[in-house]
């Protein structure tokens, strides 16, 4: 069973920025991942985030256990 979009968003928000190590995200958008990601990495949700401190833009892939599978 997959985690909900709401939970995926909470996991994304609890992840530190790779630029400044802060947790102040200005914008977080979580959407279902692409079929390719789903099949190759078992990523269920893709999060796109923009840091409110340093402006870094980051992407996360979250699997159905709520673990972060990749960070880019
Ligand atoms: Zn930052």
- Residue 59 Cα to ligand 1 middle (Å): 13
Residues flanking ion ligand 1, Cβ below 5 Å: 17, 19-20, 51, 53-54, 56
pLDDT (tens digit, 9 = 90+) per residue, 9-31? 999 999 999 999 999 999 999 99
The more confidently predicted of residues 2 and 39 is 39
- Residue 53 Cα to ligand 1 middle (Å): 5
Q: What is the pLDDT of residue 1?
A: 63
Helix (H, G, I), strand (E, B) or coil at 35: helix
Q: Which strand (E) or helix (H) includes residue 63?
A: strand 57-63
Q: What is the pLDDT of residue 70?
A: 92
- Residue 29 Cα to ligand 1 middle (Å): 16
- The pLDDT-based confidence of 42 (bands split at 50, 70, 90) is very high
Dihedral-angle region of residue 66 (phi above 0 means left; psi in -120 to 50 means alpha; beta otherwise): left
CATH classification number, 5-63, choose in 3.40.1350, 3.30.420, 3.30.390, 2.20.25: 2.20.25
* Domain boundaries along the sequence of the chain: 5-63
CA-CA distance, 72 to 70, in Å (whole number)? 7
């Amino acid at each position: 069973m997959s985690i909900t979009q709401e939970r995926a968003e909470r996991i994304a928000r609890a992840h530190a920025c790779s630029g400044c190590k802060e947790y102040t995200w200005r914008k977080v958008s979580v959407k279902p991942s692409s079929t390719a990601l789903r099949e190759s990495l078992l990523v269920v949700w893709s999060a796109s985030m923009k840091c409110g401190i340093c402006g870094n833009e980051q992407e996360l892939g979250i699997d159905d256990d709520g673990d972060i599978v990749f960070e880019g």
